[in-house]
Amino acid sequence: MLEQTDTVKKKKMSITATAVLTIICIIVVIAGIVVLLRSMGKEKMTTPAVVTDKITNIGDKADDLKGNQISYKDKIYALNEDLTTILVMGIDDETYTEVGGNSWSAEEGSYYNGGQADALFLILLNPHMKKTDIIAINRNAMADIDVWDETGNYEGIFKKQICLQHGYGYGGTESCEYQVKAVSRMFHNISIDAYAAISMDAIPELNDAVGGIEVEVLDDIIYPEYDMNLHQGDVVTLSGEKAYWYIRLRNENVFDSSEQRLQRQKQYLTTFLAKAKSASVSDVRTAAKLYKIAQKYMVTDIDAGSCIYLATEASGYTFDMEDIYSLKGETIQGNRFEEFYVDEDALEELIVELFYEPVEK
């Protein structure tokens, strides 16, 4: 079975939210995808959610519920069927090569070359509220994932870190679809309408395409080997490789150090989004430029036409750091690697809050 990489390799390849942040911005900035896809005659990008028995059609009001409604804590909610969900994946494979279409290159004869999804963000585009929400999924979250052996024989469903799901297969569309299925299963079979997976190589080029990102450094980042000497409180403009390392590096000798890094990632995401959005509003060619850059590094089922259209249709969607949600739970030290156990009650509450709307009496 696929296992997480060892500490040395992990330090070299761990992506966290690096490359993913850029494609999130592109999708968020040009976030009218549901309108375009409908106009192209594609099937509506939402389907009814299936959640746990604790939520679905229970309680004294169950007999009064309609097909898309649930009873939760004595209140009735209806699924927001106009919501669009997009899974964004950051893949720890630093080399992107087109092999028979969009695919990361894979070593022949091995079914373990998809690359781990070390960054997972579920993006929710809400046309009713004209806003975007993002759920950050801990890469160590223990989840039911589909497992194959090295030759591609299916072995069943096992409880493992969710980041491992993308590693099965040869990369590209196949691995992305596996990861989408695993995340959907974690969210009680909520529909995921589209996906984008991107390798970390894209960060410097995308960062510089908007003129760099200015931040106030949140914690000391001192790594001479990467030419990083940033101190808490410094105000700097990140360019090229410095942007890449700012949102990638963490002290792996500190337990659960990814949390501190996550704050930097949120900061970078919010700032990048604001700058990319402003540039795209003033010049729609900016969105096209960003997409063209990202396309070299990503596998997605979102086409370029959709992205360009979104730049003009949904530039008014709101988004800030408060709209980034993290799953609640507990991190423990497993036999070899850290394991994050999701608080299921908190997850159910989040599903109701973001995917459903209260029904007025």
Which CB contacts under 8 angstroms, 24+ apart, belong to 310-313? 310/27, 310/29, 310/30, 310/31, 310/32, 310/33, 310/36, 311/29, 311/30, 311/280, 311/281, 311/284, 311/286, 311/287, 312/32, 312/284, 313/30, 313/32, 313/35, 313/36
Give SS3 for 341.
strand
| CA 137/CA 151 separation, integer angstroms | 29
pLDDT more than 70, % of the chain: 71
Residue 347 has pLDDT above 60, yes or no: yes
- Name the more confident of 264 and 350: 350
Q: What is the pLDDT of residue 291?
A: 73
Tokens of 272: 């990048």
| CA 9/CA 13 separation, integer angstroms | 6
Q: pLDDT digit string (tens) for 172-231?
A: 888 999 999 999 999 999 999 888 887 777 778 889 988 999 999 998 888 999 899 999
Give the lowest-confidence range in 12-26, 227-241, 251-265, 292-306: 12-26
Identify the residue whose tokens are 């995921």.
192
Q: pLDDT digit string (tens) for 112-146?
A: 767 788 788 898 888 899 888 889 898 889 999 99
What global pTM score does this model have?
0.76
| CA 340/CA 354 separation, integer angstroms | 22
Tokens of 12: 């070299």
Cβ(316)–Cβ(32) below 8 Å: no
Q: pLDDT digit string (tens) for 308-318?
A: 555 555 567 77
| CA 311/CA 275 separation, integer angstroms | 14
Q: Which domains does the chain have, with CATH numbers?
A: 7-200+282-358 (3.30.420.590)
What single-letter DSSP state applies at residue 247?
A: T
Q: Cβ of 67: how many Cβ atoms within 10 Å?
A: 8
Residue 1 has pLDDT above 70, yes or no: no
Residues 6+ apart with CB under 8 A from 43: none
